[in-house]
Amino acid sequence: MALIVQKFGGTSVADAEKIKAAARRAVEAHRAGNQVVMVVSARGKKTDELVALAAEMTDDPPAREMDMLLSTGEQESVALMAMAVRELGEVGISLTGAQIGIRTDSSHTKARIQEISTERMRNALDSGQIVIAAGFQGVDPDFNITTLGRGGSDTTAAALAAVLEADVCEIYTDVEGVFSTDPRVVPNARKTNRISYDEMLELASMGAGVMHSRSIEFAKKYGVHLRVRPSYADGEGTLIAPESEEDAPVVTGVALVKSEARVTLSDIPDRPGVMSLIFTKMAARKIPIDMVVQDVGSGGIAGVSFTVPESDLAETLTAAQDAVDELGSGCVRSGTNVSKVSAVGVGMRTHTGVAAQMFMALADSGVSIGMITTSDIKISVLVDRDDCETSLNTVHDGFALDQVPNCAPIGQDNADTPTAATAREDLQSDIVRRLASMEDIVVSEVQLDTEQSRVTIRNVPDDPGVAAKIFTAAANGGVMVDMIVQNIGTSDQAHLSFTVLRKHLDNCIEIVGKVLEQWSETELSFDRDIAKLSVMGIGLRSHTGVGEKMFKALADTDINIEMINTSEIRMSAVVSADAGDRALQCLHGTFGLSD
Ligand code: ADP
Ligand code: ASP
Ligand code: MG
């Protein structure tokens, strides 16, 4: 007998007919001989309505009371669903998060799951009932109701599937599955039949609202097979599962965070510990930062920019001001009206020229790129919000994502071989077994890469097409570019840094040098010997504590950080070559990993 978790999102239970349809689906699965756990969201726009109602009471609702209020949406749905199930002749039992025993921490409105009791659910299932669980909610150690963050019912579903060791977790929603991008924004988006955990995790974290990113963390950690399916039809949907051993698409999807904001700390001291302080201040407020770009310091003075969701901007500015006060110098600025567009695909690990292709597509549409950051399987750019939908469409078309994907063979330079990936999964399951709390951070490995060099170009004109020209020339010359970061400086000029394989450095300098001849103010410099440290794991960016720990450990060891990239599966820092081994050892110690 199989155990199936079926999650129904808001639109899939919006009215009586839809609730009945969802109940029929669960009853069918039950009558086919399966044990069934339903996870149900609040009906339609119920949660938004409750948020709006709270705003009519106060500008600053206490987070505890928000959770009390928002959790009622799901409570209504589960009761109605249990009635619908009974009408179909089966017994359904509705349960709130507290009744199930979904224990969370106390961070109201973004609580993390610590443990889940399976006893009550198992008893109900064993006695032939359909369990109907309220999504999105839990209870803290003092029995306060908590919620997991908007869209959190997916996370409830994946977490219940994990503890119950379900055979499959089906996510029923209002689209056919996971698409190459939001099909409501880009009509020619293409549905994918299968996507890897890592790709879905990055896409969800970068704005693909179809799944709550934390649900993918659960799925990957606990090996849950998720299937995203339409609730209004019988489509097979999309399987979210481990990376397939076949060739991987170079780019799987594109995502957009429309309301992003940029924060810059300028004129701050250029010394070890600065990044650590910033990450610590943000982590204390659980603000996940992204697109971190440091300006190469001159005269002991440096600058750092990063992005945050616009909804976190006010708190971020307070935290940034705190950091500046503590550093004793500097000033904080912010830029709104910007959006983040990201392309994600595991094939990027082995394929050159992917970033160039993205920059070229944007240039051809006349879009100017503010900031750039890349990680091993994603590239993000910051653009004006007015350009965001054009950018999304352009990048989608630029990678021909409406067509059958172009695949990159696995196993070239720089690639994770399937054996390495399997070894990593074994190591990871070992770590997961030892977690004190279900949503604890998983850090499975620290890597040191000493094969790279850094190239920096200052005073690049801030015009469409500049990055495209540079990286297209490099790609055409066979130069393997790894990390890229770009920041817009003052007076319409940008600073660009990237790493290349050391064996390609001389060739790169020659090629890029030629491209730069057309812009007289640019200054090219390089560092032949650098070390790149990468911490690998799951949920690294959104669990703000990982960046905090990593940069604190490096600061305590007196190591200066030259470049950073953040992602959910890898956090990397470039340091000077002579600090590489020390940094590796210190990070092994910090994350409790043996050599
Ligand atoms: P539910 O209420 O079922 O949880 P959501 O609204 O949270 O549904 O998620 C489904 C929506 O996600 C779709 O209607 C679609 O507009 C949006 N979406 C964003 N990115 C994607 C994507 N890459 N693939 C599919 N849908 C996406
Ligand atoms: N009802 C909650 C929300 O709208 C949770 C969810 O639907 O996943 O955010
Ligand atoms: Mg959702």
- Domains of the chain are 3-253 (3.40.1160.10), 254-405+446-590 (3.30.2130.10)
Q: To test ligand 2's pocket by mutation, which of 150, 154, 218 has the most ligand atoms within 8 angstroms of CB?
A: 150
* pLDDT tens digits for range 507-542: 999 999 999 999 999 999 999 999 999 999 999 998
Banded pLDDT at 415 (limits 50, 70, 90):
very low
pLDDT digits (tens, 9 = 90+) for 169-208: 999 999 999 999 999 999 999 999 999 999 999 999 999 9
Residue 288 in contact with ligand 2 by CB distance below 6 A: no
Q: Sign of torsion, CA 87 92 98 99?
A: positive
What is the predicted pLDDT for the residue at 408? 64
Atom of ligand 2 nearest to the CA of 10: 7
With a 6 Å cutoff on the Cβ, whether 210 touches ligand 1 is yes
Pick the ligand that lies closest to the CA of residue 179: 1
Measured CA to CA, the distance from residue 336 to residue 388 in angstroms comes to 13
* DSSP 8-state symbol, 367: P
pLDDT, average across residues 427-431:
69
Q: Distance between CA atoms of 439 and 146, rounded to whole angstroms?
A: 15
pLDDT of residue 297: 65
CA-to-CA distance for 106 and 456, rounded, in angstroms?
44
Higher pLDDT: 251 or 301? It is 251
pLDDT value at position 441? 81
Segment 146-169 shows an average pLDDT of 97
Longest CA pairwise span in the chain (Å):
78
Tell me phi and psi for residue 298, to 5 degrees: -140, 140
Q: How far is the CA of 174 from the centre of ligand 3 (A)?
A: 9
- Determine the distance separating the centroid of ligand 2 and the alpha carbon of 164, expressed in angstroms: 22
CA-CA distance, 576 to 10, in Å (whole number)? 50
Answer yes or no: is the C-beta of 288 below 6 A from any ligand 1 atom: no
d(CA 227, CA 29): 15
Query: What residue owns the CA closest to ligand 1's atom 23?
Result: 181
Q: Which of 307, 227, 277, 221 is nearest to 539 (CA)?
A: 221
Length of the chain: 595
Q: Can you give the pLDDT at residue 432?
A: 72
Q: What is the position in ligand 1's atom list of the atom closest to the CA of 181?
A: 23
pLDDT in tens, 380-412: 999 999 999 999 999 999 999 999 876 766 544
Mean pLDDT across the chain, nearest whole number? 93
pLDDT > 50? residue 583: yes
383 ligand 1 Cβ < 6 A: no
Question: What is the residue with the minimal CA distance to atom 9 of ligand 2?
Answer: 150
Residue 210 Cα, ligand 1 centroid: separation in angstroms? 3
- The pLDDT of residue 442: 86
Q: What is the pLDDT of residues 213-225, one digit of tens each?
A: 999 999 999 999 9
Ligand 2: does its nearest atom lie under 6 Å from the Cβ of 136? yes
Distance in angstroms (rounded) separating the CA atoms of residues 77 and 132: 9
C-alpha span between 507 and 320 (Å, rounded):
40
**CB-based burial of residue 97 (10 Å sphere; 0-12 exposed, 13-18 middle, 19+ buried)?**
buried
Nearest ligand, CA of residue 173?
1
Please give the distance, rounded to the nearest whole angstrom, from the Cα atom of residue 45 to the centre of ligand 3.
Answer: 12
Residues of the chain above pLDDT 70, percent:
94
Which protein residue has the closest C-alpha to ligand 1 atom 15? 182
Please give the helix or strand (H or E) that residue 494 lies within, else none: strand 493-501
What is the C-alpha to C-alpha distance for residues 371 and 383, in angstroms, rounded to an integer? 8
Report the pLDDT value the prediction gives residue 420, as an integer from 0 to 100: 59
Least confident range of 110-119, 182-191, 265-274, 551-560? 265-274
For a substitution probing ligand 2, which of 41, 67, 155 has the most ligand atoms within 8 Å of its CB?
41
Task: Write out pLDDT tens, residues 64-86.
Answer: 999 999 999 999 999 999 999 99
pLDDT at residue 296, rounded to an integer: 66
- DSSP E strands in 19-156: the ranges are 35-40, 92-95, 102-104, 113-116, 130-134, 137-139, 145-147
Determine the distance separating the centroid of ligand 2 and the alpha carbon of 510, expressed in angstroms: 53
* Residue entry with tokens 């790609």: 475
436 secondary structure, DSSP code: S
Q: Is the dihedral of CA 312, 48, 110, 68 positive or negative?
A: positive
- Nearest alpha carbon to residue 243 among 190, 291, 202, 207: 202
More confident residue, 439 or 387: 387
Helix (H) or strand (E) holding 510: helix 505-516
> What number is the average pLDDT over the span 364-376?
94
Does pLDDT of 418 surpass 90? no
Q: Tokens for 523?
A: 């200054």
How many whole angstroms from 327 Cα to the centroid of ligand 3?
A: 41
Ligand 2 centroid vs 147 CA: distance in angstroms?
A: 9
- What's residue 498's pLDDT? 96
Residue 413: pLDDT band with limits 50, 70, 90: very low
User: How many angstroms is it from 150 CA to the middle of ligand 1?
Assistant: 13
* Ligand 1 center to 189 CA (angstroms): 12
Which tokens belong to 151? 């869209």
**pTM of the predicted protein model:** 0.94
Q: Whose CA is nearest to atom 11 of ligand 1?
A: 210
In this model, does residue 506 exceed pLDDT 50? Answer: yes
Q: How far apart are CA 38 and CA 164, in angstroms?
A: 13
At 411 the pLDDT is: 45
Confidence band, pLDDT 50/70/90 cuts, at residue 433: confident
- pLDDT, one tens digit per residue, over 537-575 is 999 998 888 999 999 999 999 998 999 999 999 999 999
Tell me, using a 6 A CB cutoff, whether residue 135 lines ligand 2.
yes
- Per-residue pLDDT band at 417 (split at 50, 70, 90): low
Query: How far, in Å, is the centroid of ligand 1 from the Cα of 184?
Result: 9
Ligand nearest to the CA of 40: 2
Give the CA count within 13 Å in the CB-facing half-sphere of 406: 11
Whole-number pLDDT of residue 449: 97
**pLDDT at residue 439 is higher than 90:** no
Name the amino acid, one letter, at 446: V
- Answer with the residue of higher pLDDT: 271 or 521: 521
Confidence of residue 350 (pLDDT cuts 50, 70, 90): confident
Q: Is the pLDDT of residue 579 over 80?
A: yes
Asked if the model's pLDDT at residue 34 lies above 60, the reply is yes
